[in-house]
Amino acid sequence: MKHSPVVMIMAGGSGTRLWPLSREKRPKQLLALYSHKSLIRETYDRALLLTDKKSIFIGTGEKYRKAIARELNISRRQFILEPEGKNTAPIIALFVKQMARKKKTANRPLVILSADHFISNVELWRDTVLSACADNNHLICLGIKPTRPDTGYGYIESGEKLNGALHKIISFKEKPDIRTAEQYIRSGNFLWNSGMFIFPQQLLLSELARHAPEIDKLTDIAQKSAKKLKKSFRKMPNISIDYALLEKSDRLAVIHGDFIWDDVGSFEAIVRTNGPDAAGNYPGPGTAYRSIGSENNIMYASKPIALLGAKNLVVVETEQVLLIAERSSLGDIKKIREQFPEYF
């Protein structure tokens, strides 16, 4: 495959906004939330459209390695293991350093994916990513054309066109308030920052040394032994690749993604990806229910659910906890989760 990349799927999060479905022992990436496949299986299968099995790696912690290995039927060699979570910059730096040391992966384009994304029209997504892999001169962010003024995403201000399908990045914007998000949509120059990246390997190495020397040095030391890896990560700054490197680099570009995309990080995101059934409700995969006069309810349960005049509720049954919430109260889900520390 021309410009065949090496892919890392980042899968270290625990998905606190999807509690009690998502917990420390069974994080969201291992759950089937919008299809009968787990989120990480959906992502892994998409990655296979880009490259071969041996060129796909999972970035996560040791506590999730065995479960993910069983889910994907992959070996320990396919993991980039971080001793502790330190946001995205340290593990991406560790990934590029490990790939640069191997003859079969050195100098190939790097693609960074997240395990919790929904993507429709995967063929268009594949073509977009592979076209970016042909560029050797830019650190590339994959931006998504917004479909609504969302306050939960960061934005990329897109500028003049560069070579091919790439555009200059004028600025990165943090999660805005609703009025600012509406202004971004009206301007037509802003994209959602998807958190997917395409990096030429040698350029990423040189930009890390230039703009993130502490991380660069610590990941060099981390290569020497398991003990030094653990010690180095303890010293790592807890920082995203955006802050550590991208916002400092003058070698940036964005490629526009016109496919449908969502970050499946909340129950409302599941609503957007699934769409309602014929009765106007949102049952999760395998959830059976019957209802009278009920609509706009989100449901995940192993037992059949009976709904009578219920509207705008979230009903989630697990072995440990039954959650019943109004959808308008989901912003406080972390607060109620904190009252059940034994079921994290």
Q: Are residues 209 and 304 in the same domain?
A: no
Task: Give the domain CATH number at 194.
Answer: 3.90.550.10
Is 268 domain-assigned? no
Structure tokens at 202: 């040698």
DSSP string across 126-142: HHHHHHHHT-SS-EEEE
Q: How many domains does the chain have?
A: 2
Q: Are residues 48 and 92 in the same domain?
A: yes
Residues 6+ apart with CB under 8 A from 278: none
Q: Are residues 288 and 195 in the same domain?
A: no
Asked if 157 contacts 131 with a C-beta cutoff of 8 angstroms, the reply is no
Q: Are residues 216 and 337 in the same domain?
A: no
Amino acid at 181: A
pLDDT score recorded for residue 272: 85
Q: Per-residue b/e over 22-47, b at no fewer than 16 CB within 10 Å?
A: bbeebbbbbbebbeeebbbbbbbebb
263, 289, 306 — which closes off a domain? 263
Asked if 82 contacts 63 with a C-beta cutoff of 8 angstroms, the reply is no
Residue 113 CA from chain centroid, whole number = 6
Average per-residue pLDDT for the chain: 92
Is 255 domain-assigned? yes
Q: Are residues 238 and 156 in the same domain?
A: yes
Distances, alpha carbon 298 to alpha carbons 100, 113, 219, in Å:
45, 27, 43
Q: How far apart are CA 171 and CA 152, in angstroms?
A: 18
Is 269 domain-assigned? no
Q: Are residues 235 and 303 in the same domain?
A: no
Q: How far apart are CA 233 and CA 161, in angstroms?
A: 38
Asked if 50 contacts 7 with a C-beta cutoff of 8 angstroms, the reply is yes
Model confidence at 2, pLDDT cuts 50, 70, 90, reads very low
pLDDT score recorded for residue 3: 58
Q: Are residues 227 and 287 in the same domain?
A: no
Is 244 domain-assigned? yes
Q: Using a pLDDT cut of 90, give the percent of the chain over it.
A: 70
Q: Are residues 127 and 172 in the same domain?
A: yes
For 233, the domain range is: 6-263
Q: Are residues 285 and 211 in the same domain?
A: no
215, 241, 263 — which closes off a domain? 263
Q: Are residues 215 and 310 in the same domain?
A: no
pLDDT score recorded for residue 130: 95
263, 288, 320 — which closes off a domain? 263
Q: Are residues 62 and 38 in the same domain?
A: yes
Q: Name the strands in the sheet holding 282-283, side by side, starting at the edge strand that comes first in the sequence.
A: 282-283, 298-300, 313-317, 322-326
Q: 158 has which bridge partners?
A: 169
pLDDT score recorded for residue 216: 94
Is 150 domain-assigned? yes
For residue range 184-223, what is the model confidence (pLDDT) as tens digits?
999 989 999 999 999 999 999 999 999 999 999 999 998 8
Q: How far apart are CA 63 and CA 298, in angstroms?
A: 30
Q: Are residues 102 and 175 in the same domain?
A: yes
Model confidence at 285, pLDDT cuts 50, 70, 90, reads confident
Is 95 domain-assigned? yes
Q: How far apart are CA 82 and CA 95, in angstroms?
A: 10
Is 301 domain-assigned? yes
